[in-house]
Amino acid sequence: MPSYSSEQFRKDWVYSCDQDFQSTDGRPATWAPGQPTYWGNEDAKIPLPTTPADSSLNADGSLIAVALEHDIQVYTTSDLKLLQVLKGHVSRVDAVRFHPKIPFALVTCAMNYHARSVKAEPVIIFWDLDEQRLRKPDPKVLVQNLARRAVQGLVSGLQDSQSVWIPDKTEQTDLARDLERSIGTMSTKALVRDNRRIFGRLATSFGGHVFNRDGTSIVYLPGERPSSKGVNKWDIYVWDTAKAENRLTLEGHTDAITWIGFSPDDKLIGSVCWDQTFRIWIHETGTLLHTFRSNQQNWTGGFSPDSRYFAGTSGEGRFWIWDMLDGSDVATHDFGPSGRWCRTLDWSPDGRQLVLGGRGLGRLIVFDIEDKRIVQERSLSTKNCPENLPRFTRDFLEVSSVRYLPGGRKIAFQTSGDNGLEVYDRVDNSKWRFAPRAGIDSISRRRGDTTLGITPREGDQ
């Protein structure tokens, strides 16, 4: 069976559009002045030691938190300087979210999903950045000395007791390394001994919302991850952040939950699941309000800005829009094979349009709610790529994130595999693209040149 690596894809991929955005009178979108641009031309960037798993911007836009292995690095946005490093997790940090109202409050989670991560229970940790800055981790040299002294004490004890086994130099080195790891783990855990912690996982995949609007509630998944066989309980817990206790348990799902989020008015909670259901709950009581069904695994969802409607996507290549007042179908659309992997969506601020992205040559559509039709569509082309690439594009080109920027004039989206970040201006029909040149990404990864790029913000009118 033929194989094709992501590194080879990045070498072969040449950006081109098969179908692009256009104005209402059919004129194709044009590049904004100076566009497209490429990595290396950023206004500023933050060099990172490894690839980040997640990041978050705080409530007042002054800080960026980045998950790097088992630590969280916090940078200031004014000068892109490292403010502090948060240590407390002992396995890879998978999710980072700032409190929506308190700039120095942060919640993080290590879910232990990855085989190369240190084996540990999934844990959610709450951080007060000001308070945490006062806690200093034990120096690495101290941990090394403690481990070495412990091994020396062991050897002396065995010698005094005339044991038949005295560890040789290699065994002593191995023992010291194991002890250093254990002491380091205990020392790291001690840094968050007084932090609020929960045994569970944050549901941040596919655009899920951890906090409600004012940060009084958090939704999370308790304990270890159950198997995805459609028979286990996949409950959702609602945590009261002020009382530091579970307030509600939302029961009913029986398979992997892919998205959870609050309605903008904080009255509802939506959940999307592989058990072929979308569920809507009343936030105050936990009462199940609506259950909507599909025929395959479901991927993502989202409430309209006025909380009146809920949209959800399914693996059968279809999306729906439902009315929260009576549960009726407002609109549904089947958008072909690429829809099976439609895993990101967003509502326009006025609630009149829905933008959705998925796999299949990075397809993105804009759907008009009132007219119930697609009004914009963008997809990529392989016409300028080597002949062997087209058959593999479904696995590498996915619109992995899409958002209307504040004001609703512009749509920003990112395509995985291609690694490009693009912006489309709906008013003047212009577009921006910030991306690596062909082959650049694979080269920079080998050199360890991982960065967060900062580009100038375009005014949103």
Q: How far apart are CA 273 and CA 300, in angstroms?
A: 8
Please indicate, yes or no, if residue 259 is contained in any of the structural domains.
Answer: no
Please indicate, yes or no, if residue 395 is contained in any of the structural domains.
Answer: yes
- Which of 170, 190, 210 terminates a domain? The answer is 190
Please indicate, yes or no, if residue 37 is contained in any of the structural domains.
Answer: no
- The alpha carbon of 1 is separated from its chain's Cα centroid by a whole number of angstroms, namely 32
Domain limits for position 168: 140-190
DSSP secondary structure letters along 218-280: EEEEESSPPPSSS-S---EEEEETTTTEEEEEE----S-EEEEEE-TTSSEEEEEETTSEEEE
pLDDT in the model for residue 450: 54
Q: What is the mean pLDDT of each run of 10 residues along the chain (461 residues)?
A: 74 89 95 93 90 94 96 96 95 95 97 69 95 86 88 89 88 90 87 94 92 97 86 94 96 96 98 97 98 95 98 93 97 78 94 92 93 94 80 78 96 92 96 81 40 44 38
pLDDT in the model for residue 184: 84
Specify the number of domains making up the chain. 2
Comparing CA positions, the residue from 435, 434, 424 lying closest to residue 19 is 424
Please indicate, yes or no, if residue 92 is contained in any of the structural domains.
Answer: no
Q: What is the pTM of this model?
A: 0.89
Instruction: Tell me the C-alpha to C-alpha distance, in Å, between residue 173 and each of 146, 149, 165, 177.
Output: 13, 12, 16, 6
Please indicate, yes or no, if residue 370 is contained in any of the structural domains.
Answer: yes
Residues 461 and 339 both lie in one domain: yes
Please indicate, yes or no, if residue 133 is contained in any of the structural domains.
Answer: no
Please indicate, yes or no, if residue 393 is contained in any of the structural domains.
Answer: yes
Q: How far apart are CA 185 and CA 89, in angstroms?
A: 9
Q: How far apart are CA 236 and CA 248, in angstroms?
A: 8
- Which of 156, 175, 190 terminates a domain? The answer is 190
Instruction: Tell me the C-alpha to C-alpha distance, in Å, between residue 394 and each of 297, 337, 360, 387.
Output: 18, 10, 5, 15
Please indicate, yes or no, if residue 427 is contained in any of the structural domains.
Answer: yes
Say which residue the tokens 């009118």 belong to: 461
Please give the torsion angle defined by the CA atoms of residues 194, 196, 200 and 205, in that order, rounded to the nearest 10 degrees.
-120
What residues pair up with 433 in beta bridges, in sequence order?
422
